[in-house]
Amino acid sequence: MSSTSNSPTVLDRRSAFPVESVRAQFPALHQKPAFIFFDNAAGAQVPQIVLDAVNQHLVERNVQRGGRYRHSREVDATIARARESVGVFLNARDPSEIAFGMNATSFIRIVSLAIGQTLQERNEIIVTDMDHEANVSAWLALPRAGAKFLSWKMRDDGNLHPEDLTPLLSSKTRLVACTVASNALGSIVDVAAAAKLVHEAGGEIFLDCVHYGPHAVMDIQAFDCDYLVCSGYKIFSPHMGFLWGRRKLLEKLPTFREDFIPDEPPGKIEAGTFIYENVAGMDAAVSYLENVGKTLGTSERASQATSKRANLVRAMTAIRSYEESLSLELLRILRECGATIYGVREDHRVR
């Protein structure tokens, strides 16, 4: 892949993305004086459709879920709709496998503490040196539960290679915790190949999709993972996070709960009140991406798929392509300045 700024491929991708109409949907980008936002680790700005959803929820149905009166039933409907939306976004088979909460870190803690209570002969947990601390320390906190730890290490190219995982796997492997993309280098891990190896060994794989999620298509069926966490606020929602897990595994997890909370997913993972207006915002964020996909698909043949999933895939594919065109230009300039570039080659990382 060429990194030359005047490459037709780069220019075509940049011009094909409707960046001006996208920018128009984000109020934060039109403040006076201008607000220049580079802190992408803190999350993304939100489009108007998300602000409207949050505001509508707080004004019209700022009540608890689970009641018999209309406003409470509307909260239940909002949450159910958001599960459906995020389920489609992830290509999940069952919306009841989607749980909402504060952030990805809290979900990693919830699942790690639960798995720590189930360790028996299979007590080895594999972590990586490429992951965010959140997906390492939560697992390393389990030695009192009998956990043993192994490390899947990056190579000099700044990526994890599934073949390096093979010698670490055994009949004692309980779980492999790894990222889908590095939060530091952007390196994309072949998690589907890793999942195949882990499952052949009888273990499970837990994926941190926080950095990958805003930049490319998430597909839990293609990843073939067992758990996945992501932060919605990196993907245009207010501050919140979500967890996906195979239902049969979530049913077995011994989570902390009260008597009034059903001991089944997703409720058992969501003990207590979470921020319903932010869940409404997450549903709206998925709608925003779906609308981007619809806009990009208007020039395509009418016979092509126009399902919600198809529009989301189209949007995320276009976003990744556009971001890559910007990244290639940045890398070109950095190389001309004599900068040292770390990480894998351009088409194997997210931005």
pLDDT given for residue 349 in this prediction:
67
Phi, psi of 292 (to 5 degrees): -60, -45
More confident residue, 86 or 16: 86
Per-residue pLDDT, 300: 54
Give the chain as a 3 state SS string.
CCCCCCCHHHHHHHHHCCHHHHHCCCHHHHCCCCCCCCCHHHCCCCCHHHHHHHHHHHHHCCCCCCCCCHHHHHHHHHHHHHHHHHHHHHCCCCHHHEEEECCHHHHHHHHHHHHHCCCCCCCEEEEECCCCCHHHHHHHCCHHHCCEEEEECCCCCCCCCHHHHHHHCCCCEEEEEEECECCCCCEECCHHHHHHHHHHCCCEEEEECCCCCCCCCCCHHHHCCCEEEEEHHHCCCCCCEEEEECHHHHHHCCCCCCCCCCCCCCHHHCCCCCCHHHHHHHHHHHHHHHHHHHHHHCCCCCCCCCCHHHHHHHHHHHHHHHHHHHHHHHHHHHHHCCCCCCCCCHHHECC
Q: Is the pLDDT of residue 114 over 80?
A: yes
Place of tokens 């993309």: 181
> In the prediction, which pLDDT does 62 show?
92
Mean pLDDT on 128-157: 96
1 has pLDDT over 60: no
pLDDT: which is higher, 340 or 221: 221
* Average pLDDT of the residues in 244-250: 97
Could you read off the pLDDT of 23-69 as tens digits, one per residue? Answer: 999 999 998 887 777 776 778 999 999 999 999 999 999 999 989 99
Assess whether pLDDT exceeds 90 at residue 87: yes
5 band by pLDDT with thresholds 50, 70 and 90: very low
Can you give the pLDDT at residue 228? 98
pLDDT in tens, 270-316: 877 889 999 999 999 999 999 999 999 875 554 455 899 999 999 99
pLDDT band (50, 70, 90) for residue 8: very low
